[in-house]
Amino acid sequence: MPHITDQLFTAEQLAALPDDGKRYELVDGVLHMMSPAGRDHGRIAGRLFLRIANHVERNQLGETYAAETGFLLQRNPDTVRAPDVSFVSVERLRDFAGHGGFLPLAPDLVAEVVSATDRSKEVESKALAWLSAGVRVVLVVDPQTASIRAYRSATQVKDYSDGLLDLSDVLPGFQLDVVELFT
């Protein structure tokens, strides 16, 4: 992920950037440009979002957020990350009713879809950073291998290439058919 400048930015400066059609994240105050998603990335992220969002809405569990939704994870220096799919429980959102801008919290669940150009070391580092920020479950979804790596901690990591991925600990009653997601 290339950084844009050596100047440190704040979350407010990130939010005030003019819309140039590009996507940015802020990591420890450093602005990073995100590459546009390719076909497989966008298709799988969209399918995953729909499955989670439908379950969340049907069961009134909270809110599901699509790509480009920023979460303010750290101040001084600021970190604002934007996962491909995220979920925040209704209980945790109560304190932020009417809040505009970046939500100042870590989601309960984050999914990052791997692009063909992503390096596995960077993807794992990002997953661990999400966990360190307080995310309960991080899903690293790889369209190339049709697999999902579920991180519940730095040491509790499980790979799925078939069967059901049970996310009931974060999304009560939700199971994801891994094969069906990729077909």
CA atoms within 13 A on the CB side of 159: 6
**Are the C-beta atoms of residues 82 and 67 closer than 8 Å to each other?**
yes
**Are the C-beta atoms of residues 168 and 175 closer than 8 Å to each other?**
yes
112-152 confidence digits (pLDDT tens): 999 888 888 888 999 999 999 999 999 999 999 999 999 99
User: To the nearest whole percent, how much of the chain has pLDDT over 90?
Assistant: 79
**Domain architecture of the chain: domains with CATH:** 36-182 (3.90.1570.10)
Question: What's residue 119's pLDDT?
Answer: 86
DSSP 143-177: TTTTEEEEESSSS-EEEESSSEEE-TTTSTT-EEE
Q: Can you give the pTM of this predicted structure?
A: 0.93
The mean per-residue pLDDT over the stretch 45-71 comes to 96
Give me the chain's average pLDDT, please.
Answer: 93
Q: Whose CA is closest to 45, among 112, 109, 120, 125?
A: 112
Q: How open is the CA angle 34-39-44, to the nearest 5 degrees?
A: 90
Question: What's residue 120's pLDDT?
Answer: 81
64-123 confidence digits (pLDDT tens): 999 889 999 999 999 999 999 999 999 999 988 888 889 999 999 999 999 888 888 888
Alpha-carbon gap, residue 51 to 139, rounded angstroms: 14
Q: Whose CA is closest to 13, among 29, 35, 32, 33?
A: 29
**Are the C-beta atoms of residues 5 and 54 closer than 8 Å to each other?**
no
Strand partners, 149: 140, 159
Question: What's residue 143's pLDDT?
Answer: 95
Alpha-carbon gap, residue 65 to 107, rounded angstroms: 9
Q: For residue 26, is pLDDT > 60?
A: yes
